[in-house]
Amino acid sequence: MVSEAISKKEIERVKFESKDLHKPDEYWREHLTEEAFYVCRQQGTEPPYSGKLLHNKDTGLYHCTCCQTALFSSENKYDSGCGWPSFDAPINEQAVRFLDDFSHGMVRTEIQCAACDSHLGHVFEDGPKTTGLRFCVNSVSLIFNKK
């Protein structure tokens, strides 16, 4: 429904604000679940098809679990069939940081929350025609706020 859609103006109002969110591991261990700490702070991966946000179809914004910065919109979410929530773009260019990832014998591009360096997942160049990108994100690294 049009009334449930997130307006472009609303998305544009969600700006990345530079804050000192770079905390030591001890802080994150106290404030995150064991699984969230493993994924977000130790670059782990939740098992495919296990995340609570994989099949979420509600309208709203997806925020970083660690710092609550808005990262993705439901308008950019799609079913890629990969087993993790997928988006064709972040909410704005400043929301995520891209890093080369050579772990596990692969060459990939890691995505992190630009505000707090939380590991989100990876981006691949096999996405829909809109952007050609698939932001493959761990559910545990996101908090969903329904509109």
Which sequence positions are flagged as catalytic? 136
122 vs 119: CA distance, rounded Å: 9
DSSP category for residue 44? -
Binding-site residues for Zn(2+), please? 64, 67, 113, 116
Alpha-carbon distance values, 38 to 3, 12, 90, 121, 138 (Å): 38, 32, 23, 12, 11
H or E segment and range at residue 9: helix 8-13
Strand partners, 135: 87, 123
- Answer for the pair 42, 128: CB distance below 8 angstroms, yes or no: no
